Amino acid sequence: MTPATATAAAAASDANMWNGIDAEIRFNDPIGGATWFAAGGCADVLAVPRSFAALSELSRRCAEANVPLRVLGQGANLLVLEEGVDGVVVDLSAPAFTRAPWDATDGTARGDHSAETVRIGAGADLFRLVQDSKRLGRGGLAQMAGIPATLGGAVRMNAGGAYGDIAQSLERIEVVMHGGEMRSIEAADLRLGYRHCELPAGCIVVAAHLRLPHGDPKKIEADVHEIFEYKKRTQPMGAKSAGCMFRNPTDPATGRRESAGKLIDQAGLKGLRFGSAFVSECHGNFLAIDRGGRARDVLELSNQVQQRVLAHSGRRLEREVVVWSRQQVPSFPEERG
């Protein structure tokens, strides 16, 4: 640990730094267990702000103290290594960050959501949003069926699948900048692409404005059902994994995306195991873990898959799953050192 890192860690763990902020502050919180891998280490500090003002102030203090700031969504695309993660991890699960216009405190739907573009908090559960849109006869989110994420997490990586991505419905977002300033950014300025969204460095997505046009509820329900059934047939839905481990690479000859899962299968890697981690027999791009397994095993297995696919087909697979640790983890094992 460098002197600067040690100073930042000490600042983050100092209870006095969080005085006066309307947030729940937890020290040494076991966030690894909250990820979909259900493995890994702790966050030095987990902060659950209760308001936008609290988040803004928290961001400002972290910027002034040079403390790293990360956002924990549902942990569906995240691997936290056993040594844990320094700095502050933010959890946007408070009601201020999860509201949709049809929500009410008693759980019933309000009648004030007629506009086709709606503002929804970044902490909202994407699965629930798909179900709500189906129930309310709102289009625009069927393509996101079966994708585990918060709305903010989906925006941050432009999440999607074979049927489309969140960019199809996104008009603009609201963010808290590194340092606490609130800003609105149009979707056209985010350069949205395949698993790509160009956000300002250090910002936190706090809300998204989505186009959800009114449509035929039966047609929307049928679309959602079709996509769910496709995922159930082709993916190991019950495994402890983070979904697709790698992005689909581009074929340099055609410029088209190739299936990472197919490349892994062609390299004969289905069922490959390292310690408690293994490549799914159902879908090669899913790396899963035994109950009580080690996050480090998943990382090492992903390194082996990258190396062996490169040797077999010449394709470099880039991890889609984010790895959190106390030091930077290279995206490809050859980059170590």
**Residues known to be catalytic:** 195, 244, 320
Q: Which amino acid is at 192?
A: L
Among 262, 275, 271, smallest CA distance to 309 is for 262
Q: Which amino acid is at 42?
A: C
Give me 74's structure tokens.
């549902």
H helix intervals, the chain: 3-12, 52-65, 126-136, 151-156, 217-234, 260-266, 295-313
* Host H or E run for residue 94: none
Report the 10 Å Cβ neighbour count for 15: 9
Query: Can you tell me which residue has the tokens 């040079």?
Result: 66
Q: Return d(Cα 89, Cα 259) in angstroms, integer.
A: 33
CB-based contact 82:292 (threshold 8 Å): no
